[in-house]
Structure 1
Amino acid sequence: MSWNKEVHDAGRKAICKFWYFCNIPFIAARSPYWQGMIDAVTICGSGFKAPSDTELSGPLLLEMVEDMKVDLEDHRQSWSQKGCTIMTDGWTDRRNRTLLNFLVSSGGSTMFLKSIDASSHVKNAAYLCEAIEEVIDEVGEENVVQVVTDNAASYVAAGKLLMERHPKIFWSPCAAHCLDLMLEDIGKLGWVKECVERAKNICKFIYNHALVLSIMRQYTGERELARPGITRFASNFLTLKSLLKSKASLRRMFVGEEWTSSSYATTTAGMDVVDCIFDEPGFWIPCAEIVQVTEPLVVLLRVVDGEKPAVGYIYEGMDRAKEAIRSIYAGVEDKYRPIWDIIDRRWHNQLHRPIHAAAYYLNPSFRFRADFKADEEVLSGLYSVVQRMVTDTTATLLEMDAFNNASGAIFASQLCKEGRTKLQPGRKF
C-alpha cells in the first residue's frame, strides 16, 4: 500500500490512545521489540486480529516461553566457545525473603539463570561459596572464567574460598559497587558532605512544595533537578551537576515576583534555600569543584554499569580518572592527594585484580596505542592470569608474541588492525 499521511497519522494516534489509556511508561518505546512488533503487524495487513487477554496469558505465553528457551540455548552454546562470567547479588523482596540472583554473561550478552531463596540460611562465606559452586556445576566449570559478587565481607570471603577450590576460576568484586563506594567515601569529606547536604535541602524544599516546584519549572523550562537516590551515592553528585546547570535559572526564580510574593518566601526553610542559592563562595564554588572531581569516576561508573563488557576498560579507566583529577588541581599534590588516597584504598584493597591488568594488556585499543604502559603491575597481572588459566604454555607464549608484534595471518591483517578501536575485545567481525 502506498504511503498516505492521513492513514499513518491515524495509526500513530491509535497507538497513542492505547499507550495513554494503559498508562504504559514512555521508556517502553525504547524496547528493542517495539519497532519489530509494529513491522510484524504491518506485514499481517489490515485484517490482523490482535490477541485477546486469554491468549496473551495462556497459549501465547507458553509459546513465548518455549521460544525464549531456544534463544537461551543459543546463549548457552557460547559459554564453551567464549567462556563466561557468573554474576550474583542478594536482595530482599516484599515478603521479606532473602533471594540470591544468578546471571551468566558471555560474548557481550547476559541471561538470567535462576534465583534461590536463601532466607533459611546464614549468608556466611561457606554457604555463599556452596551456592555459587552449584551454579558453576550447572554452567560447567570448564566454561567459567570469572565470578563477580558485591563487596560485602561474606562475599569477599566466599570469593577467596572459591578461588582456592577452583584453580582456574577468578573472583572479582562488582566494579560498579566499588566505584559507588569510592564516591561514598569522597562524600564523607567534611567540605563535600556540607555541600551535598545543602544541595539535598534545596531539592527537598522545591519538590516538597507544589507551588515552588511549579515556579521552578517556569524558570528552568521544565528541566528537572536530579534528586538524590537512596542506593547510589553517585546520584548525590548528579544532583550537584543538575543544580549547576540550573544555577542561573534558580537565581532568577528566587528574585522573581512569583517567589517573593509567595508565602514560602518568608518561611525559615525558604530563606535558608535563598541564602544557599546566592552563596557563591560557600556553595557554588565547592559545588563546581565537587562535580569536576567526581565526574571522571561517574563516567567510569557508567561504563562498568552499562550493557557492554567492561573488564578490559577498568584498569585504564581508573588511571585516566586519577590523572583527570590531578589535572583539575593543576598537579598540586595537597589538593588532589586526599581524593587519590580514597580511590587507592578502594582500588588496592577491593577492586583491583590481576584479571583487570591482563584485560588491559590484551585490549587492542590500548595495547597498540603510543602511550601504552606495561609496567610491573600490569605484567605481573598478565602472567598471573595466563599461568592460572592455560595448560599449553608454549602455544600461549607464541600467540602472545604474535599479538604483541601484530604479526601472523590474523593480527597483522588490515581488518584486525581496523577493529582494534571499532570492536569490543572478544567480538568477531
Structure 2
Amino acid sequence: MPRLQSGVWKHFTPIIKDGRETFMCNYCSRTYTKNATKMQMHLDKCKEYSVVSQQSPSPDGSSSASIPVPSFSFLPSASPGGQFLIDSVDQRSQVYGDECLARAVYATSSPLTLTDNIYWKRFFSVLRPAYCPPTREALSSHLLDCEYDRVQSQVHEAIEKADCVTIICSGWSNLKETGTIIYIIATPAPLFYKCTEAKEQKYASKFIAEELKEIINEVGPQKVFAVVTDDAPEMIAAWAEVEEVFPHISAIGCTAFGIQKLFDEIVAQPSMKALCRRAEQVVKYVTEQKLLAETFRCWQTTKTRKHAANETVLALPTGSDWTGVVNMFNSLLEAQNSLQEMAISPTLDAEVRAALQDAAFWKELGSSQNLLYLIGNHIDYMKRDDAVLSDVVDMFSQLRYHIGASLSETVLNSNEQKAVMASFDKCQEFCVKPIHAAAYMLDPKHVGQQTLSGEQISSAFYVISNVSHHLDLDEGKVLGSFARFSAKQGLWKGAGIWSSCQHVSASIWWKGLCSSELLSPVASTILQIPPTTGICESLQTHFCSTKEQGSLSADRVQKLVAVQTNLKTLEPSDFECAPLESGEDGKVSFKSETQ
C-alpha cells in the first residue's frame, strides 16, 4: 500500500498510561511511543486501516476522511456494545472548519501555536475526532492570506459606504522604537488600512505627505475631510502640502499628544525635577533596605490598623506615560503620617530625614500632584474611544483656567510658571484649529455655552462654508439653517429635540433628527472627525508584541495585525456563521493544508 501523503498523527489517539504518553492506532488499537517513522510503518501494514482507506467516495463525489475512534467513556459508541464509532469529515467541512478556526484565532489574538498544543488537540479530538486542525504554518501562511483578503474587502466596502472619512497617521514621533508608521481610516469606526516600514530620512515630511496623498486618492478625496497625526515635526510639516492639494481637508494634531507634551515640559522644569529627585530619594531609601521596608510596613499596620492588602506601597516612576510621577507623589502623600513618625529615628539618612520633616516638601508634593493629575486626566480623557472633536475647545478653556489657578501653589518659580504658560499656548496652537471651533459650534450639547473668540467664530464659519462648497450645497441656505439652529428656532424650537442629544452622538443626532435641514450633512461630517491618534498608539504596542513572537516576516506581521484589529471592528455577517451548502464546493476560498 502506498505511504500516506498527509500527516500520520491524525490516525492515532494520544493516551496516558502509567504516567507516560503513548499513541493508539485508531484502527487496530495497537500502541506506540511518539515516533512518526514507526507509526507510519505501522499504518503501511495495518489491515484495518487498509480497509478504511479504500472506502469508495461519498455519493456527492466529495472525498472524505473516515476515522474509527476508540469508544472512550466520554465519546458515543456506534452501538451499545460497539468498540468503535466511525467519524468522517469531508473536504468541504474540513476547509470550512479551518476557515472558522483560523478566524477565531485571529479575532482573539490567540497564539498561532494554539493548535500545536496537546490539550487543544485532545479537545478537537473529543469534539470532532476526524477533524484535523490546521498547523501553525497553515495559520501563518495561506489561511492568513485568505482571511486578510476577505477582511480587506470588507474594509474597502465599509469605506465605500462611509460619507465622511478621516485619515489617522502616527508613528514618526517614536520611529526609532518601532520603525513603523500606521495608517487608520476612521469611518468613523477605526479600520486598519496599512503600515509603512520607514527610516529617518532627510526629506521625511515630503515622504509622509506623499503617503497621505496616495491614501487620500485611493480612498476617494471626495469623502476625506480630515487628517490627524502625531506631534512629530515631520508630520506637522506635511500638513501644508496636503491642505494645498486638497483645500477641503483639515490637517490637525492629536490632542492627547499635545497635552502629553505639555505635561512633559512641566515635569522638565528645574524646580519640578528637583522635587522628583527628592521624592525618588525617599522612596528608594525606604524600599531598597529590607529592614527599613519591613519597619515601614509594620508601622503602617500598627498606626493605620489597615489590612496588609490595603497598605500603601511606595512607588517609583515606571513607563513613559504621565501616571509614573503622579503615582510616586500619591504614594508618598498617602504614607505621609507613617513616614514622618519613622523620621524620628536617628538611624535614618540625614537627607531623607530632613525631607520627611520638611513641611514645605509635603506641601509642594501635594500641590504639584494636583496639577499633574489634572493634566493627566485630560490626556486619558482624550484617549477614550468616545472622545469627540467638539470637546477640545471647551477642554482647553477649562485647562487654561485650572493651570493658571494652580501654578502659584506648586514648587515652580515665577520664571518657570511663565515658561509653562508659554508651553500651554504652543500646545493649544497645535491642538486647536478652525475645524475644532466649527465642531464646537455645531455640537448641540454646547449651544448656548459659546466661549469662542471672534477670531475662532470667523474661522469656524470659513470651515462650514468650505465643507458646504465641497458637498455642493448652497452656502447661504446652509448658514441660514445654522442661524435657526443657534437661535433654537424652527425645527429646534421644542425642548424634546435638545434633550435627545444627551443620548446619542452629535453626528447621529444631526443625521437622525435634523436630516431635513441643509446644515445636517455639514454638521454630521465635521462631528465624525476624531480628535486623537489613540488607536495608532495601541496598535504600535500590538505590533511590537506580535513581532516578538518571532519567525514572522514584516508582511505577515502586518497582515496578522490588520486581521486581528479589523475583525474586532467589523460586525460579522450572517453568511460567516452559516454552514456550507453541498453545491458550494467550487466557491471555497481556503485550501486545506493542515499538515
Could you tell me the TM-score, scaled by structure 2's length? Answer: 0.53
Contact 2:312–2:334, Cα closer than 8 Å, also in 1: no
The answer on 1:248 being equivalent to 2:345 is no
1:64-83 equivalent positions in 2, closer than 5 A:
65=148, 68-69=151-152, 72-73=155-156, 75-77=158-160, 80-83=162-165
Identical columns (%): 17
The answer on 1:378 being equivalent to 2:456 is yes
User: Which of residues 361, 374, 388 is equivalent to 2:441?
Assistant: 361
The answer on 1:292 being equivalent to 2:370 is yes
Amino acid at match of 1:401: A
Please list every run of 5 or more consecutive structure 1 residues that lacks an aligned counterpart in the other structure.
1-31, 35-46
The answer on 1:118 being equivalent to 2:198 is yes
The answer on 1:401 being equivalent to 2:479 is no
Offset of 1:165 from its aligned partner?
Answer: 2.0
Amino acid at match of 2:456: V
Match of residue 130 from structure 1: 210
Aligned length: 367
The answer on 1:280 being equivalent to 2:327 is no
Match of residue 87 from structure 1: 169
Match of residue 424 from structure 1: 505
Match of residue 180 from structure 2: 99
**SS of equivalent to 1:311:** coil
**SS of equivalent to 2:507:** coil
Could you tell me the TM-score, scaled by structure 1's length? Answer: 0.71
1:353-411 CA distances to partner (integer Å, 9 max, x unpaired)? 1122222222222223xx432431330231232233221312321331232123344x4
User: Which of residues 315, 328, 350 is equivalent to 1:239?
Assistant: 328
In the superposition, relative to structure 1, how do residues 212 and 423 fare at CA in structure 2: closer, same or farther (>3 Å)?
farther
In the superposition, relative to structure 1, how do residues 163 and 205 fare at CA in structure 2: closer, same or farther (>3 Å)?
farther
Offset of 1:173 from its aligned partner?
Answer: 1.7
Contact 2:266–2:420, Cα closer than 8 Å, also in 1: no
Amino acid at match of 1:154: E
In the superposition, relative to structure 1, how do residues 73 and 382 fare at CA in structure 2: closer, same or farther (>3 Å)?
same
Contact 1:150–1:173, Cα closer than 8 Å, also in 2: yes
CA distance in 1 between counterparts of 2:218 and 2:313 reads 46
The answer on 1:305 being equivalent to 2:369 is no
Offset of 1:167 from its aligned partner?
Answer: 0.6
Match of residue 173 from structure 1: 253
RMSD of the alignment, in Å? 3.9
Offset of 1:92 from its aligned partner?
Answer: 4.2
CA distance in 2 between counterparts of 1:210 and 1:111 reads 50
CA distance in 1 between counterparts of 2:169 and 2:286 reads 39
Match of residue 15 from structure 1: none
Q: Name the structure where helix makes up a greater proportion of residues.
A: 1
CA distance in 2 between counterparts of 1:56 and 1:82 reads 39
Contact 1:185–1:342, Cα closer than 8 Å, also in 2: no
Please list every run of 5 or more consecutive structure 2 residues that lacks an aligned counterpart in the other structure.
1-106, 110-125, 301-307, 513-595
Offset of 1:105 from its aligned partner?
Answer: 2.4
For the pair shown, which has the larger CA radius of gyration, 1 or 2?
2
Offset of 1:347 from its aligned partner?
Answer: 3.2
In the superposition, relative to structure 1, how do residues 65 and 213 fare at CA in structure 2: closer, same or farther (>3 Å)?
farther
CA distance in 2 between counterparts of 1:309 and 1:297 reads 16
Amino acid at match of 1:76: I
CA distance in 2 between counterparts of 1:326 and 1:134 reads 43
